[in-house]
Amino acid sequence: MGRRSYDESDVKVRPGKGSRPRTKDRPSHKDAETGMVVTKDRGRWGVVIDGADPDASPAICMRAREMGRTAVVVGDRVAVVGDTSGLDGTLARIVRLEDRKTVLRRTADDTDSYERVVVANADQLLIVTAVADPPPRSGFVERALIAAFAGGLTPVICLTKSDLADPSEFAAEFADLDVQVVVCGRDDPLTPVTDLVHGHLTALIGHSGVGKSTLVNRLVPDADRATGVVSGVGKGRHTSTQSVALRLPGGENAGWIVDTPGIRSFGLAHVDPETVIGVFEDLRDVVEDCPRGCTHAGPPADPECALDRLTGASARRVAAVRVLLEALRSNNEWEL
């Protein structure tokens, strides 16, 4: 038998993984519209386009291929192309994420290095806690304050259920940190809170059962956020499962409230003591005189800590900040 001759039909070429040639060039998307992310749910984001009618539906968007797995969260400023009408069946694409001005982050616990961004670009963090039913947890407030300081947000402590207990004693625990405290119990006027949030992007955070969703419904009457009751063991059921930004009444410039899911844990693995101390101008420069390796805990752990030289209001602030540092050093996940 003779040797078989082969031609090109006998050669099988395995196609590549993609039919398009790879290129580093990316479209410029000069026609992209900008807006703010107000919802996030299963790979779809709701984006309010700048200048759109305040009553218009948010544009429903997916993340463009060139974005890869870039995290996009509520509060983010993004560029969008495609159909931004928000009508049923339409879909636009997020093609660019703008730089964030502030970031509220947390980790699953104090040993987890993976940071979860809760809200982006918020001006303020309203830390909502009840003064009774469930009883206030200073550990949660301390950790929320640290996260706000680290992320560049202005923290405000918001005390609810003042009809059940006097809020002044708990508020006094944080007086030396110069953190504003507002009381918004069921029978209290809402004006101090509405004045505070007007014109701002304000994130609300709190564990379940403290009245956070009730407060949101008072601020945004048509929000219709679900509210729940506190169980017999002091744990409220989680009535908010997704973060959502809600426009405050009063028009385009009235501001936004970001309602976040109820928090059961607040890890701070991404924060170091210097970040916390650096928030306070009267302490920031003093710690430069501390010996190397000083943890700023004071004696007996740090007998030569420069913070111990301070007097008056600054000394009281040192004591308050050391409470925060102890919460940070504890390396224990705060849990409801």
What does the pLDDT look like over 103-160, one tens digit per residue?
Answer: 998 776 655 656 788 999 999 999 999 999 888 888 889 989 999 999 999 999 999 9
Q: Kindly state whether residues 317 and 200 are assigned to the same domain.
A: no
Number of domains forming the structure of the chain: 3
What local confidence, expressed as pLDDT, does residue 3 receive? 66
Residue numbers of the domain that contains 39: 33-97
What is the average pLDDT score of the chain? 85
Residue 230 or residue 194, greater confidence: 194
**What pLDDT does residue 270 have?**
78
Establish if 177 belongs to a structural domain: yes
Same domain? For 252 and 142 the reply is yes
Percent of the chain beyond pLDDT 90? 57
pLDDT beyond 60 at 262: yes
Q: Are residues 134 and 211 in the same domain?
A: yes
Decide if 75 is inside a domain: yes
Residues 138 and 247 in one domain: yes
Residues 164, 47, single domain; the answer is no
Q: Is residue 20 part of a domain?
A: no
Q: What is the pLDDT of residues 216-226, one digit of tens each?
A: 999 998 876 65
Q: Which of 50, 65, 97 is the last residue of a domain?
A: 97
Do 132 and 198 fall within a single domain? yes
Q: What is the 3-state secondary structure (H, E, C) of the chain?
A: CCCCCCCHHHCCCCCCCCCCCCCCCCCCCCCCEEEEEEEEECCEEEEEECCCCCCCCCEEEEECHHHCCCCCCCCCEEEEEECCCCCCCCCEEEEEECCCCCEEEEECCCCCCCEEEEEECCCEEEEEEECCCCCCCHHHHHHHHHHHHHHCCEEEEEEECCCCCCCHHHHHCCHHHCCEEEECCCCCCCHHHHHHHCCCEEEEECCCCCCHHHHHHHHCCCCCCCCCCECCCCCECCCCCCCEEEECCCCCCCCEEEECCCCCECECCCCCHHHHHCCCHHHHCHHHHCCCCCCCCCCCCCCCCHHHHCCHHHHHHHHHHHHHHHHHHCCCCCEC
* Position 206 pLDDT exceeds 80: yes
Q: Single out the residue in 97, 115, 140 at which a domain terminates.
A: 97
In a domain, 23, yes or no: no
Query: 82 lies in a domain?
Result: yes
Domain contains 28: no
Same domain membership, residue 304 and residue 170: no
Residue 281 belongs to a domain: yes
Residue 1 located in a structural domain: no
User: So what's the pLDDT on residue 116?
Assistant: 83
Task: Output the domain CATH number for residue 40.
Answer: 2.40.50.140
Q: What is the CATH number of the domain that holds 116?
A: 3.40.50.300
